Structures are given as C-alpha cells and as structure tokens.
A and B are shown apart, each in its own frame.
Chain A
Amino acid sequence: MAEVGLHDDGGRHLNPYLRFLLRRVAVGVVLAVLVSLLIFAATELLPGDAAQAILGKTATPEAVEVLRAQLGLDRPAVQRYLEWLAGIVQGDLGNSLSTRGPVTEAISGRVANSLILAGITSMIMIPVSLLLGAYAGTRPGRPGDLVVSGTSLAFIAVPEFVIATFLILLLAIGTDLLPPVSLVAPGTSPLATPLVLVLPVLTLLLASIAQNVRMVRAGVVDTMAAPYVQMARLNGLPEREVVLRHGLRNALPPAVQVIALNLQWLIGGIVIVEFVFQYPGVGQLLTQAVALRDIPLVQALAVLIAVLYIAVNIATDLVVVLLVPKLRTAGVQ
C-alpha cells in the first residue's frame, strides 16, 4: 500500500480516507435514525399494541385502556417516538414487558456472548474462504477446483437450521462427542466451556463458506484471465509471483465485498443458530421477545442489530477503498 497517507486534494488538506469515513458515518447516522423510525412504526402502529399483548385476547377493553394509560401508550405516537429515541441516545432503553426490569439489564451479558460467536466464526470463515477460493480460482477446471467447487455447490442455500439438525444428529446424538444444546450458566462466559461453541460455529461456517468460496473463486478466475496477468506471464515472471503479486492482490477487493455480505448474513444466521442451540445471545433473546411480543425489548434489540449492520457496511466500504486507490477519489467526491 504505497499511497496510504496524506494526500493533497485541492487545498482541503484533509486525509481523503478520513473525509470518506466522515461522510459515510454521517450518512450512516441519518440511515440509523430512519431505520429506528421504521422499527418503531412497525412495532407500535400496527394493530395490537403492548397492552393488548400483555393482557391477551380475553381482556376487557376497559382493562386494556387502563394499562395503555399506565404504559403511556395513549399519548401521540410522534411524542412517544421522540421520547424513545432520546432514551436510546442516553442509554435508557425502557423496561422489558416480560422481565419487568430494564431492557439494558436483559441485554447486557448477551451482547458479549453473541460477539464471541460471531468473532470466532469470522476468524475462521474469512481465511478459509479466501484460501479455498484462491486455491480453486487459480486452477479452474482441474481436479482440485472440481472438488472445492462441487462441494460448495452442494452446501449453498441449505438452511442453517437444517445443517444444525444434521450436525446434532451426527456429532451430539450419534457419537456423544459434543453437547446438543449450548447452555451457558448466567454470569459465566461461553469461553469457560468452549465445547458448547463448537456446533454453533460449525453450523455458521458450513452455511456461509460455500457461498464465499464460490464468489472469491469467480473473482480470482476473472483476474487471472485479465490481460495484465497474461502480460506478467509473458514477461517470464514465475507463476508464484504472477498469482501472488498480480492475481490475488487484485482479486482482494471483490473478496472483501463478499465477506462483507457474509458478515451481514451472519447477523441473521446467528439469530437462528442461537435459537437452535439455546445459546444465550442477543439472537435467542430477540426470538423470545418476538414470541412474547415484548415490544420494548424487540425495539431495543432491533435498533442495536440495525446499527451494528450499518457499522459493518461502513467498515467494509472503508477497507475496499483502502485496497483500491482508484476508488478513493471517486468515493470522496
């Protein structure tokens, strides 16, 4: 990366990467506010509110009205949205309807658990996808490629919970090697009992690596067929040099975008995997909250996940721009 550093752009004397980042963060904040409005509207304006959800269908209309007043649901929606948004900014997420305690308390321990799951999965997923994709892409049509590509074709689009079910059957029930559910005692870290992490991580890897490998492979195949790679070969560079210096380096930006897509996918995948394995993370809490129609808890978790999603998008955009100097100026303007 020879060109990283201060770059003069028309007298503004601001690092172009920094300017790009600031611009993307500003757009991201606006987007996050609009998404919060969407989440609030979908949970509060649709028929059936929190009061109705707590009391159930058999409640008298009078009882529902009293509870609505207690919960403050009889005030105008715009006022409630603004108060809710102000609360989020100050770190006050309201009270959960199911635990009756603050939402922040219900969430606190679970964020770390989900990040551990996501972190371990990405740390394995990213290098394995890149290696397998590059391996297959530099020998298209040869036996090594056929094995990798064929295997990934068979795994693409298999739902996470189907993969999880077969893994439980094979590795937890059939052989007793691993626990079929990932129970973690409250207050302890899953890292203290690493065996509970194996099946959830393996499920997420099997569900995502196939798609990654395929797209990285396609990128590498395209780059290896490009005229400048042919030229490097004709110049007599050793094949190793050609692959590493010219092929893989230029196949990297599309690969980063592939991985970005997968980090986004991971957010949905984790919800399902945590549900299957009863792993105490944010995703499991979210599905519980949805089933109980615990609206304040769902809103808080949804905003948390949406903000994370937007942040991942900005981070990967920045990595792509760092990798492709040409995009830097285009992205800044």
Chain B
Amino acid sequence: MTRAAASWRRLPRPGRAGLVVVLLILAIAVAGPWFAPYPPDASIGPPFAPASAEYPLGTDGIGQDVLSRVLSGGRSVLLLAGLATLLAYAVGVPLGLLAGYSRGVAGAIIMRGVDVLLAVPALLLLLVLATGAGAGAVVLVIGIAIVHVPQITRIVRAATLQTTGRAFIEAAEARGDSTARILGVEVLPNISGALLADVGVRFTGSVLLVAALNFLGLGLQPPASDWALMISENRSGISIQPWAVVAPAALLAALAVSVNLFADGIAQVYARASARRVEASA
C-alpha cells in the first residue's frame, strides 16, 4: 500500500488524472455488460429510435440498444490491445536481448530485419497483412504485435548493450552460466526500468491501431459490439440518431487520451529515476 502511495506521489498530475480515467473506463468495460438492459447483439426495437425511457441512448441502424452495446463494447479494444502488446514483448524482448548480447551474425540479422520493418508505416503493414490473411481479431493482434516488435527490440538491445561488460555479467560469464541464464537472470532484471517506461506508450499505440482497424472494418466483424465498430456502423445515421456515434466516440477518445497521459507520466517517472542514478554514480 505504501509503495502504491509512493508511486502515486511521484506521478505528474496529468498522469494521475489519466490513471483515474483509465480505471473508470476499465470498470465500465469489465462490469458494463452486467448492467446492460438488453442483449448487445439483438434487434429489440425500431431502427434509429431516439433516446427514450425504454432505450436510454436510442437504438442503432438495425434496432439494437445503443446503451447495451456501449456498455459491452469496451472489452474488445482493451483485450485486443493488451494481447497485441503482450505478444509484442514476448517476441521483442528475447530478440533485443540476443541482439544486444551476441555480437555475432544473429545480432546483425535481427537488427537489419528491424530496419526493414521500421521502413513500413504501421497502418500499411496491417492493411497488407489483412489482404494476405483476411480480416479478423487474430490477424489484428498478430499484426499489431509485428508493428511493435522492432521498437521493443531496439530499446531492449540498447539497454542490454549498457549492461554488457559490467562486473556481475562478467562474473556470470566466468562461472560458465549459459547465455539463456545470463540474459534471463542477470540482464533482464537490470533493464526492466527501461522496459516498463515504454510499456504504456506501446499500449497506447495498440489501442489506436485496434480502434483504427475495427473502424475500417478490417478487425472485428458485426454483430460484435466494439466502440470503433459502432462509430463505423452508425455513421450513416448520425443526423437522425447521433447518440449511436457520439457515445462510443466519447468513450474511445477518453480511453485513448487517458492511457496516453498515464503512459507519459510513467515514462517521466522512469526518466527522472534514471537521471538520478546517473547523477549518483557520477
């Protein structure tokens, strides 16, 4: 508890506001479906019915209850973005460790691959993958992970390079520890700060890409309830029934902005901490 309180105090004010809003939206996304008055994917009224006591936010183009869909539509973006970010770290961290530690051919090959992937705009990579493998949640998660891998590999490699040659690494090498053990037990804990400072930024990027692909109709397919998909589905009725677009758009914007503010706050805390370490060691 005291550790949590200490972290809270170190977080800059916009970061704190971001965290509060993120937790609120997380609560809506997780608990929302239990409070939904109707099933999110059933036609229960006339199309584009205005807001009323019966349908608090009206209905959408095929008569589904907007409030129920908004309450159920937050899980997908958080879940898909979370999975994509996790997968990206699962692949990028070992690659970065290897590229930073081994000075041989493996490292060079990994970094040239990173250069090539970085030369392709993120959205373009996802569109090309969707053409080859079809639209859907699995392709979406794998594609977004591929977008993040080069950046993560670069950060992990740079941090790993700074640890090589330090005494505890040389001691482990002298003991004859395996490369896997050295990287996992000695290097990884020492670069966790650099990694954690970056997680929020990656997650923000994932949220934006998941939303963009769902909006373009290349991610989740109807009748899935998803905020970005709702905006896309109900755009044609925006002048008759604006709630079907405004409610998911407002929540999605709040989520993206708050995640970004929180991520920015974490990055600042870690930047200050590492600046202090540099001063202390100098």
Q: How far is the CB of A17 from chain B (nearest CB, A)?
A: 23
Contacts of B127 in A (CB 8 A): 271, 286-287, 290, 298, 302
Instruction: Find B119's partner among A275, A287, A290, A310 (CB 8 Å cutoff).
Output: A310
Judge whether A293 and B238 touch: CB under 8 Å. Answer: no
Chief secondary structure at chain A's binding surface: helix
Contacts of B204 in A (CB 8 A): 157
A112 at the interface (CB under 8 A from B): no
B216 at the interface (CB under 8 A from A): yes
A267 at the interface (CB under 8 A from B): yes
Query: Whose C-beta in chain A lies nearest to the C-beta of B260?
Result: A157
Judge whether B133 and A157 touch: CB under 8 Å. Answer: no
Query: Whose C-beta in chain B lies nearest to the C-beta of A161?
Result: B215
Contacts of A154 in B (CB 8 A): 257
B249 at the interface (CB under 8 A from A): yes
| CB contact under 8 A between A268 and B124, given known A158-B253, A159-B256 | yes
Query: Whose C-beta in chain B lies nearest to the C-beta of A309?
Result: B121
Query: In the docked arrangement, what's the CA distance between A161 and B211, Å?
Result: 9
B246 at the interface (CB under 8 A from A): yes
Contacts of A43 in B (CB 8 A): 128, 131-132
Q: How far is the CB of A177 from chain B (nearest CB, A)?
A: 14
- Total interface residues on B, CB under 8 Å, equals 45
Query: Whose C-beta in chain B lies nearest to the C-beta of A37?
Result: B116
Query: In the docked arrangement, what's the CA distance between A267 and B120, Å?
Result: 11
Chief secondary structure at chain B's binding surface: helix
B267 at the interface (CB under 8 A from A): no
Contacts of A35 in B (CB 8 A): 116, 119-120
A225 at the interface (CB under 8 A from B): no
Contacts of B131 in A (CB 8 A): 42-43, 289-290, 293, 295, 298
The segment from A133-141, A164-172, A195-203, A231-239 that touches chain B is A164-172
Can you list 16 A-B pairs, Cβ within 8 angstroms, ordered by A?
Answer: A38-B117, A43-B128, A43-B132, A159-B228, A160-B212, A162-B249, A166-B246, A169-B245, A268-B212, A272-B215, A293-B134, A295-B131, A298-B127, A302-B124, A306-B120, A310-B119
Query: B-contacting residues of A (Cβ < 8 Å)?
Result: 31-32, 34-35, 38-39, 42-48, 153-154, 156-162, 165-166, 168-169, 173, 264, 267-268, 271-272, 275-276, 286-287, 289-291, 293, 295, 298, 302, 305-306, 309-310, 313
Closest 10 CB pairs of A and B: A46-B132, A268-B123, A157-B260, A43-B132, A157-B256, A46-B133, A298-B131, A34-B116, A42-B132, A158-B253
